A and B are shown apart, each in its own frame.
Chain A
């Protein structure tokens, strides 16, 4: 066996041991070492050279990056997640035909979808979605994220929240918690427009706070324009489009002049 490959796999074993112990600091340092070692293999992306050990090297590299992605979720580092995921992706798309499928593939793809949803990058979410095969779409991990997005778009927020109980993978919880915050802001934004007022009790339930105190603090920080009196929350509604009293003369003059200029060009 290639000595470099042995070195990598030994280090990877130590990394996994630390990973199981939840010793994240050791993990992170060892991961950087591993990544440096991986750059020595010519069979990995972007070169994809057909070396004799290519399959083994690709498999171990994929395994390392899969662990890296999950580790970034555990350390709650979204930027690291994005970086590691992009490094991992070629192993699924470009090397996928040569390697046996990884059991981690769909959970990780689903995680990425969830991350895009949390970060409100809906366009990228859909771009990623297009890449998935029909079989992938039927996988519970992927389906979970897809259904979340739908409920989110529709506005069925309680469905989003109840989905937290049915997460298909334990790593999903971190993003689901983040999503709950996003959902709260969304609900607050909608309530503001849809209701004249709400009782404090209802508002607390709707915004998913466990105590009135938390609600009051939230209102103070995020929506200072809301008014609280007599046990009700009054939303200051934005002014409706009032009937036009004044003629916007300057704008009209400009428009009419431009019509005249254009007409002159035609005639």
Chain B
């Protein structure tokens, strides 16, 4: 705790140089302080908070501020400082020199924590990506990954997982994702060996993303099914995982499971992640259509997504009506959208569902209809439409889509009287599954409640805890004093 206060006081004199945006630098230093305390008391939670605070500052990052911060956090003349400064644009160089001079006289200069070094890498990387300097970002991220390989500290894990993410992002932006696949696999292995669960989670998602980027569904599924699973640490990573899982399942025709994962991903995603939710919903709509469900209008017309989901709305409409011609024209009209969303092949699969829906409508409206009329209504354009219609109807009957009988001799289809559904067990079963769903939802909500990680230990006694905290503080103070002495 003392460390924390110290840190807050310290930035005041040192920000004389970066007068342009003292507040940003000030914030950065506070975050650095947070990380240091987090490391000393071994509380990963503080580092998580530091990363979250950094994201809030993201837009305000400027080259001079960054170089000032680098000089503050890293030892002057040290290797990482030189390497990182070289990534920043040269306009900041002037400030940097001045800054080195002043901050060298600061009492703070000391051999920096490895966590702080990693954090500096992260900051520079985010800055480079935001400035669209992707090649520099690639170089910087590769350097940071090389540095990370030599670090084995649990307190680095949080920062490392963010670095992995930006590492992959910078390669994706330049279109070289395939290059780093081997590296990511190696990192995942290392993370598994070190029991770094957050790192495993992040890397698994990055790998899945990497595979899916090249449509390698087979490899993705093999990796996914064999990678160790555990309770999710980060909600964002879990959402991504669910989304990738949903995609894989969709391609492999496991629509029911796919729908569940996709809807869950969309629901769990933070409200701010609009793009992600739109993607989830696009896939979810297609999967629901493939399952033979028609998504509600409200689902397609969700707030802020109307425009993006418009093609999907029209597609749904075509499937709902069961009109093959309309379906074809919609698919053609929006083919570029569907292609860029990577679901072109799923649209092709939908054709079959359109026919089914059309057939169901016919079967409901007519008690008896000739197969020739069925073919005409479905607009089957083939050499022998009646024979086609007959076998299509036969298959629909077998799959339970319609309840009818075909009379081959007369060439017509006779729909059966729909029996009274309430005389069967069906309603009871539907009711049961709904109750089960609600109860399950409640149980999951209870399970998802968060408790502080060490709550069970702290029950032992208040005295013990106080003792422990005191010890920790003493150690922290001790280290701080040692550092001062060194200088």
Query: Which A residues contact B (CB, under 8 angstroms)?
Result: 122-124, 126-127, 129-131, 134, 146, 150, 153-159, 162, 186-187, 189-196, 198-199, 202, 241, 243-244, 248, 252, 255, 259, 262, 265-266
Contact = CB atoms under 8 A, between A and B. Distances in A.
Interface in B422-444: 423-425, 428, 432, 435, 439, 442-443
B355 interface: yes
Contacts of B132: none
B252 interface: yes
Interface in B384-406: 384, 387-388, 391-398, 404-406
A244 B435 contact: no
A194 B394 contact: yes
Given A129-B345, A155-B396, A158-B384, A195 B408 contact: yes
B345 A191 contact: no
A241 B340 CA distance: 46
Contact of A155 (B254, B395, B404, B408): B395
Contacts of A189: 398
12 contacts: A131-B216, A156-B380, A186-B395, A190-B394, A190-B397, A191-B394, A194-B393, A195-B408, A243-B424, A244-B423, A244-B425, A255-B432
B391 A156 contact: yes
Contacts of A156: 380, 382, 388, 391-392
Nearest to B404: A194
Given A126-B251, A130-B217, A255-B432, A194 B397 contact: yes
Contacts of A146: 348
B398 A127 contact: no
Contacts of B404: 194
B420 A243 contact: yes
B218 interface: yes
B409 interface: yes
A248 B432 CA distance: 13
Given A130-B217, A196-B405, A243-B419, A155 B251 contact: no
A165 B407 CA distance: 30
A186 B399 CA distance: 11
Given A243-B420, A262-B439, 10 more contacts: A123-B251, A126-B252, A127-B251, A150-B351, A154-B395, A190-B391, A194-B394, A194-B398, A194-B406, A262-B442
Contacts of A191: 394
Given A131-B215, A150-B352, A193 B424 contact: no
A123 B380 CA distance: 26
Among B221, B339, B398, B405, residue most surrounded by chain A Cβ atoms (within 10 Å): B398
B398 A190 contact: yes
A154 B420 CA distance: 29
Contact of A193 (B380, B382, B383, B394): B394
B253 interface: yes
Interface in B243-286: 251-254
Contact of B442 (A150, A157, A202, A266): A266
A247 to B, nearest CB: 9
Contacts of B215: 130-131
Contact of A158 (B253, B387, B395, B397): B387
B218 A127 contact: yes
A194 B405 contact: yes
Nearest to B442: A266
Contacts of B406: 194-195
A6 B345 CA distance: 44
8 pairs of A and B residues whose beta carbons are closest in the complex: A155-B395, A194-B394, A190-B394, A243-B423, A123-B252, A193-B398, A130-B215, A194-B397
